[in-house]
Amino acid sequence: MKLNKQFIFSLVLMVLASAIYRVFPNRPMGFAPQMAIAIFAGSLFVKHKKLAFLMPLLSMFISDSIYQLLYMSDLSSISGFYGGQWKNYLLIIGLTSFGFLVNQNKIASILGASLAAPTVYFILSNGLVWLGGGGWHRPKTLEGLMMTYADGLPFYPNSIYSTLFFSTVFFASWILIKKANNVKLA
């Protein structure tokens, strides 16, 4: 795969912009681009999986580092790094797999991945919170699990909306880049 400087710069800019957007104050809960980056990267780098997994990982790490700096400076109540965070990293990286299944030429394929990824993330992340005794420390019963899912519901719609929105931005931009530069990577 031959990557030109303009293409690499565009990817780096996308990761940085996404990371910075995630730390915007007063951003709606759960409205962040990282799931869409995972899907997009997976579809873009099907043959180069290390790059696919690296993009959402870098975006998360950069934004968490910014959060941590703001937290340490008493400019944010949100810490960037905390116990159990590795689970979120694994889940976001895992969502890259949805991108491996995306046909970039089919809107339904992109739409399906953009709906499935946040749904799987919601189910797994809240299940892990419940299993680990995090969040509101719900009891280890079916009722406690359902309470944990109810606790996470405020984040779920925005994760779907943001994944749909940012997937549209990323894939539409990619179509324009391919048309303008005749780049073929997927």
Residue type, 105: N
Distance CA(104)–CA(14), nearest Å, equals 18
Whose structure tokens read 């340490």? Answer: 72
Q: Confidence band (pLDDT; 50, 70, 90) for 176?
A: confident
Within the chain, strands assigned E span none
Domain boundary assignment for the chain: 5-22+29-181
pLDDT of 82 > 70? The answer is: yes
User: What share of the chain in percent tops pLDDT 70?
Assistant: 95
Angular region, 29: left φ>0, alpha ψ -120 to 50, beta rest:
beta
Distance CA(186)–CA(29), nearest Å, equals 33
pLDDT of 174 > 60? The answer is: yes
Nearest to 38 by CA among 119, 111, 80, 97: 97
User: Mind listing the pLDDT tens digit for each residue in 43-54?
Assistant: 988 888 998 999
Instruction: Determine contact, residues 122/155, Cβ cutoff 8 Å.
Output: yes
